[in-house]
A and B are shown apart, each in its own frame.
Chain A
Amino acid sequence: MRFDPSTRGEGPETGVECPYCESTNTVRDHPKGPGLCRSMHYCEDCEQPFERFG
């Protein structure tokens, strides 16, 4: 039994590929997204928020 790792902020905080412009100049806004397999990120290049899956 382990607790939800998102509460500890696991997973990549930067460098996740933006689904809109493919830039990796991105930061994670929040480890929790709308579902258990999503986290919230922001692209510094195209200035769009996006979610990471998986």
Chain B
Amino acid sequence: MSADDFEGNEFESEACAYTDYTSGEAHEQYPKTGGGATGVERDVWDALYEVEDPEMPVSIVDLGLIYGVEVADDVARVEMTLTYTGCPARDMILNDVRCAALAAGVADAEVTLRYSPPWNVEMVTERGKEDLREFGLSV
């Protein structure tokens, strides 16, 4: 029996706990980098840009992890993803993102994790790829 014969996905989830070493496809709507954002939303994007991946000196915005920012009634709602579902830095990153959004001057911030669309390396911005190469990683 090969690994491909194994059917144990009772949750019918698309997410997987490892990175498939193939490139993946570029996504039309992603990455989102806050282009065109104004006012407080602009401030939130700018604050999020300052948050770096815990392993690498790259902005999480450049990594393509942020899927959306909305500010309404003085509350910032950030939708984001992680590079894989089992990411051990999950709580740390979520907390960093929430603190960054709060620092942009909103009364409260909610961070929601999404795994759709699944992240892949094509969601990294050109600047992000440069930063990764600078750090000594091949992208």
The answer to whether B21 touches A53 (Cβ under 8 A) is no
Describe A's contact surface by its main secondary structure.
loop
The answer to whether A51 touches B3 (Cβ under 8 A) is no
Distance in Å from the Cβ of B96 to the closest Cβ of chain A? 18
Describe B's contact surface by its main secondary structure.
loop
A40 CA / B118 CA spacing, docked (Å) = 24
5 nearest CB pairs, A to B: A54-B121, A11-B21, A37-B19, A1-B9, A3-B3
Q: Which residues does A use to contact B, with CB under 8 Å?
A: 1-6, 8, 10-12, 16-20, 26, 31, 35-39, 41, 50-54
Q: Which residues does B use to contact A, with CB under 8 Å?
A: 3-4, 6-9, 16-24, 55, 83-84, 86, 120-121, 124, 132-133, 135-139
**Beyond A6-B18, A16-B138, A54-B124, 17 extra complex contacts between A and B, CB < 8 Å:** A1-B6, A1-B7, A2-B3, A2-B6, A4-B18, A10-B20, A10-B21, A11-B21, A12-B21, A36-B19, A36-B84, A37-B19, A37-B84, A50-B136, A51-B136, A54-B21, A54-B23
